[in-house]
Amino acid sequence: MKIAVIGATGKQGQMLVREALLRGHDVTAVVRNRSKLGDFSGRIIEKDILALTYDDLKDNEVIIDAFGTGMNDDVMLHQTTMKHLADILSGKPNRLLVVGGASTLYVDAEHKVRLLDTPEFPDAWKPVATSMADAFDALKKRDDVNWTFLSPAAFFMYEGTRTGKYKVGGDELILNSEGKSEISYADYAIAMLDEAENPKHIKKRFTVVSE
């Protein structure tokens, strides 16, 4: 399968590229600075995400959006970049898989309170989380794009163990067997590539947590 990973030099982007290559997929890395890719030998697109066109991505059955921003970056980019990708993929057969955030997951059965809305959510991360939430809300309205939004658990651990096991949920925050909401970047990448290979959440969001 041909897979493009946007933001391939980021922490999650690197994990996704590695997992896709381990499975034998034909991977295109979409980056702003190719020098950060190291010894990657696949196809490289060196472009800003907002400069991407459909011609750049059309040969890939799956496009994984691993673009991210920090607390001090332009948080509105989450909305503009996701809209841009949705626009260029509008009406096309390609699938758009998005590395989402946990902040939009609901913590109540009535789906009225998101993790973002709870008192415990860190104030410093609210601007980024709110922008991602707004971007997700806009994406949910797009019936013209084959999108999937994957939210990790609340604690997303870069150096966590690659177990190859995870539990799947829908729009609500879920806990593992120890009563914790956590997953490693490596296991999240496994879940994303599993969805790429065997799509079960077209035009839906789902979440994963460690077992």
3-state secondary structure of 203: coil
Q: What are the residues whose beta carbons fall under 8 Å from the beta carbon of 50, sequence distance 6 or more?
A: 80, 81, 84
pLDDT of residue 68: 80
Residue range 143-171: mean pLDDT, rounded: 96
> 79 lies in which domain range?
2-209
Mean pLDDT of 34-60: 93
Look at residue 36 and tell me whether its pLDDT is greater than 90.
Answer: no
Place of tokens 């079960």: 200
Q: How many domains does the chain have?
A: 1
Q: What is the pLDDT of residue 89?
A: 98
The CATH number of residue 144's host domain is 3.40.50.720
Distance CA 33, CA 105 (A): 32
Confidence of residue 72 (pLDDT cuts 50, 70, 90): low
Joined tokens for residue 85:
């990708």
Give the H or E element holding residue 64: strand 62-65
